[in-house]
Amino acid sequence: MLRIIFIVVILMTGLHQAKAQQKQELRGTVADSASNDLLEMATVTAQDSKDSSLITYTLTDKNGAFRLTGLPADKSIRLLISYTGYGTYIKVLPPGSPANLGRITLATAPHELNTVVVEGDRPPVTIRQDTIEFNAASFKTRPNAVVEDLLKKLPGVDIDEEGNITVNGKKVSRILVDGREFFANDPKLATKNLPSAIIDKVQVVDTKTKQEARMNVLKDGEDKTLNLTLKADKKKGLFGRLSAGGGTDERFELSGMANAFDGARQLSILGSSNNLNKIGFTQSEMFSSINTRNGIAISASSNGSLAVNGINFGGTGEGIRTASMIGYNYNDKWNKTDVNNSYFFNNTDARFRTLNNREYLNGDSRMFTNSDRNGYSRNANHRVNFNFDIELDSTLRLTLNPAYDYAKMSSNASGSEITSDENGALINTNETENRALSTNHNFSNTLGLTKQLKKKGRNIGLQFSNTYGTYDGDAYNLSELEYYENEQLTEARHVNQLTVADNTTENYRLSLSYTEPLSETWKLTAGYGFSHNTNTSNRQTFNYDSTSKGYTIPDEAFSNRFRTVNTSQTPNLAVDFNGKKIRASIGGTLYLNMLDNYSYTTNATLKQYQTNFAPNSRINYRLKNGGSFNLNYNGYMQQPSLEQLQPVPDNTNPLNVRIGNPDLKPAFTQNIRFGYDRFSPTGFGVFSSIAFSPILNRFSTASFINSKGERTTQTINVDGTYNVSMNFTISSTKKTKDIQYRISGGGFINGSRNISYNNTGNIAGDTTLYRNTTLNFTYTPYVLYNYAYKELLDISVSYRPSYTDARYKPAGNITGSFFTQRATLGSTLYWPGNFSWDNDVNYTYNSRIAAGFQKHVVLWNMGLAYDFFKDKSLQAKVSAFDLLRQNTSVRRIVNELYIEDVQTDIVEQYFMLTLTWNFSKFGAKPKGSNRRIDGGRSMFMF
């Protein structure tokens, strides 16, 4: 497999070099016509003179020099040179023109507001301080391409296999359409559904709330927002896509999206249903629709599954799922009020089977558990969201954001597990069946008020938010346990229980912020926050009564009614500096926290008071070459969850009982990060960082195992722990009229030091808990290569090895180290005619997977499509999934308690025929629209 990838890379590189030999270049210098000063960072763009399509572009260096390579020798070139404050130089160069253009001078442009520059002269990339703007017309996509296809062509933008977006190494968490929310800001719904043909510009900005944006709050730039601006002639019309497919093994997929836009009024409706493991919601949606503060224990395991109160509801990559969803998004402007409303419903049924091989680390001894579990889960989620942005007057704005979420979940799972010691001697067995049904209601509301005072830059902001949530759940737990000693049965135990949970949460938060300008570059920001959170949990457990044939016998050992109240105050102060080269903020936040835990069952009260001060500082230094150094330091507190606090055992699995700890203190994390970034609009980028995060009172575990192999785990606070990370990426994108390729490489290191406690030595007699130190480091280099030739061929290749080194001390210096590697090869050939042929090959390998689990997996998917009609609006596609019948999901999990290998059933080989219809009807183009681009301004503005 690796040989094939290597050969493909060599062939594609060779093809590019062969093409380059048939090209020409242009070079010269750019200067001021009056002073003869050389102009650095002027934009030099080469276009095809026939259609003004982009061929390539570059910037002048510190000597005003430029060099354009890879230009077609047989075509006329339209050369454009621009610089901020100067008129644009435009010249058409016929074939055979001299390569050396000599000195080109630019004259200062008059400031005329009505200056017009034709659309074809717009720059490919514009940079204004912290905003990067891409001109979509400069990055051609195929007919019926979606926004995701456009983003993949933009320099510095990367999209992983899950659809997650990064720009210059920074994650994108939100996408707006014409500055407005789109389906509650879920990026994937926009990138995978909106057609790229309607996009005029892609703007990249720091993620800010509306209040932060209006108060001009400086952000650290680690989180980005994409704003997709629409073409003027695409703001009124109807467009969308319908798709239907059927295949072998009763596989099916239905999806559709329709958009009706009329200026500020926008309505989008989408829906889908499939049994191909394409889930109808993202995990971020799942977490937002289930309020995690109301006593619900939500966890996402490393095998991609999602669990609520110990009940597994499946997840990406696990089980065989049928997912259906429908939703709408509505934007409008009512006088001086911007309105957004969205509704989303999804329903997912999953059937799964999971094989686990777990090795527990108990000091110098070990225990091994093998389990086989299968079942189904079903969940239905509704979410409705409103957003009102009201302009009360020119200086006062009000925002209102109410939302309501409803979730209903059910599951039924059964399984068996066998536990043995390191010599293979049987310790216990367990046959289980778990059934659960739960509902969750959550209402939230945020009210914000921003006032611009008389002095320019002086602002005051007030924000109030509240949430109210309820959770009701019934969980049935049936277990048949057998215990062994010297291979002889010594005890059998039967568990048949019903646990009824009734949880509520009420959270209130008030924040006040004030900005005072001290000069053009300095300002003072001050703020105060107050929050009051109350969480109540009523957990009652009943044993089955064979006489009454019902769950009528209370079990006090597993019942408890508990309340936790967390009150915090956070005054903060900072001084900000915003200069041409340096941006800095120096300040701090004082955390005053009171935690009040009360058990109604035992009438016990525990109050804790904690004070922490966290300097919050950052500095960014910009270099002339487009690079920047940045240093950030901040701290934050993490409150323990209700599950971690509630002092009642959770025996969903009687062999692994969890119990809360009301003595827990909040954890306090400090983050120190140093980074260097360099991004050139011509396609070269370097992104690197190193981060260190020491954690005070980190949440860890104390685990005790008795002679029967029963384990009890409790959350505790520990010190002396940290997380560390390092990453480095270098990438280069080259584009000519016919060819675009991108190569990037680098690597990252993630590490941690954690402390846990367990009983070591002879598990039959040792009752003392001992300190255990876990060092876990993962080293991952990688290389990626993408190649595109005209609109005929796209190829992508990647290779990512990874080595995990996990060490446990003093537990006999046990290591859980393992090596994995992954290689991918993807290609799409748009030939002959309206045919397209795509292939996607993924190879994975895990060196230390348990015996009986598959180490090597090659997943090969293929598709052949044909586009009908001149506008290619109808497509028929035959696709094959898992041609080699090797698809499986195998993972290794390493933490402070155990090393585990997990294998889950997923969708196997199928073949499918799919029909897709793209439709659009737009109104007439407004007169004079999208023609003006600030005449005389530079194509790249810094």
Query: Rounded to whole angstroms, how far apart are CA atoms 167 and 182?
Result: 20
Residues 243-287 have pLDDT tens digits of 999 999 999 999 999 999 999 999 999 999 999 987 544 433 333
Tokens of 6: 């290597």
Tokens of 533: 């959170």
- 122 confidence band (pLDDT: 50, 70, 90): low
Cβ(195)–Cβ(177) under 8 Å? no
* Residues 676-700, mean pLDDT to the nearest whole number: 90
Tokens of 79: 């050369």
What is each CA distance from 13 to 8, 17, 343, 789, in whole angstroms? 9, 6, 48, 12
CATH value of 114-258+910-942 in 2.170.130, 3.30.1330, 1.10.3470, 2.20.25? 2.170.130
Is the N-terminal amide bond of 801 cis, ω within 30° of 0?
no
* Residues 124-138, mean pLDDT to the nearest whole number: 81
- Residue 469's identity, in one-letter code, is G
* Bridge partners (DSSP) listed for residue 844: 822, 857
Q: What is the mean pLDDT of the chain?
A: 85
∠ Cα 521 206 396 (to 5°): 70
According to the model, what pLDDT value does residue 313 have? 35
Is the N-terminal amide bond of 810 cis, ω within 30° of 0?
yes
- 760 confidence band (pLDDT: 50, 70, 90): low
* Bridge partners (DSSP) listed for residue 586: 575, 617
Query: Rounded to whole angstroms, how far apart are CA atoms 942 and 935?
Result: 16
Query: Rounded to whole angstroms, how far apart are CA atoms 196 and 150?
Result: 6
Task: Reply yes or no on whether the pLDDT at 633 is more than 70.
Answer: yes
Least confident of 22-31, 541-550, 635-644, 802-811: 802-811
Query: Rounded to whole angstroms, how far apart are CA atoms 574 and 558?
Result: 49
Query: Rounded to whole angstroms, how far apart are CA atoms 396 and 460?
Result: 10
Task: Reply yes or no on whether the pLDDT at 736 is more than 80.
Answer: no
∠ Cα 544 646 482 (to 5°): 40
* 159: CB partners within 8 A, 6+ apart: 148, 151, 152, 165, 166, 191
Q: Of the candidates 721, 729, 732, which has an alpha carbon nearest to the alpha carbon of residue 748? A: 729
- 218 confidence band (pLDDT: 50, 70, 90): confident
Residues 445-492 have pLDDT tens digits of 999 999 999 999 999 999 999 999 999 999 999 999 999 998 899 999
Query: Rounded to whole angstroms, how far apart are CA atoms 506 and 519?
Result: 42
Least confident of 124-133, 168-177, 670-679: 124-133
- Domain-wise residue ranges, the chain: 114-258+910-942, 277-517
Tokens of 846: 């895990």
Q: Of the candidates 597, 575, 570, which has an alpha carbon nearest to the alpha carbon of residue 586? A: 575
Q: Of the candidates 547, 53, 491, 533, which has an alpha carbon nearest to the alpha carbon of residue 293? A: 533
- For residues 532 and 814, the model is more confident at 532
* Residues 899-909, mean pLDDT to the nearest whole number: 89
According to the model, what pLDDT value does residue 306 have? 40
Query: Rounded to whole angstroms, how far apart are CA atoms 47 and 35?
Result: 29
According to the model, what pLDDT value does residue 925 have? 52
Cβ(358)–Cβ(900) under 8 Å? yes
Task: Reply yes or no on whether the pLDDT at 389 is more than 90.
Answer: yes
Residues 689-721 have pLDDT tens digits of 999 999 999 999 998 888 888 889 999 999 999
Query: Rounded to whole angstroms, how far apart are CA atoms 529 and 514?
Result: 12
According to the model, what pLDDT value does residue 363 have? 64
Tokens of 511: 């924040």
Tokens of 276: 């191909």
According to the model, what pLDDT value does residue 318 have? 60
Tokens of 591: 């955390």
Task: Reply yes or no on whether the pLDDT at 292 is more than 60.
Answer: no
Residues 169-184 have pLDDT tens digits of 788 988 999 988 887 6
- 161 confidence band (pLDDT: 50, 70, 90): confident
For every residue of 642-705, which 3-state class applies, written as one string?
HHHHCCCCEEEECCEEEECCCCCCCEEEEEEEEEEEEECCCCEEEEEEEEEEEEECEEEEEEEE
Task: Reply yes or no on whether the pLDDT at 5 is more than 60.
Answer: no
According to the model, what pLDDT value does residue 810 have? 66
* Residues 347-359, mean pLDDT to the nearest whole number: 92
Task: Reply yes or no on whether the pLDDT at 311 is more than 90.
Answer: no
506: part of which helix (H) or strand (E)? Answer: strand 488-517
* Residues 386-415, mean pLDDT to the nearest whole number: 95
* 95: CB partners within 8 A, 6+ apart: 73, 74, 75, 76
Q: What is the pTM of this model?
A: 0.82
- For residues 379 and 297, the model is more confident at 379
Share of the chain above pLDDT 90, in %: 57
Least confident of 124-133, 682-691, 705-714, 821-830: 124-133
- Residue 307's identity, in one-letter code, is A
- 852 confidence band (pLDDT: 50, 70, 90): confident
- Residue 33's identity, in one-letter code, is S
What is the SS3 assignment for 846? strand
Residues 549-606 have pLDDT tens digits of 999 999 999 999 999 999 999 999 999 999 988 999 999 999 999 999 999 988 999 9
Cβ(631)–Cβ(615) under 8 Å? no
According to the model, what pLDDT value does residue 4 have? 52
Least confident of 154-168, 250-264, 800-814: 800-814
* Bridge partners (DSSP) listed for residue 670: 635
Task: Reply yes or no on whether the pLDDT at 941 is more than 70.
Answer: no
Instruction: State the DSSP string of 705-729.
Output: E-TTS-EEEEEEEE-SEEEEEEEEE
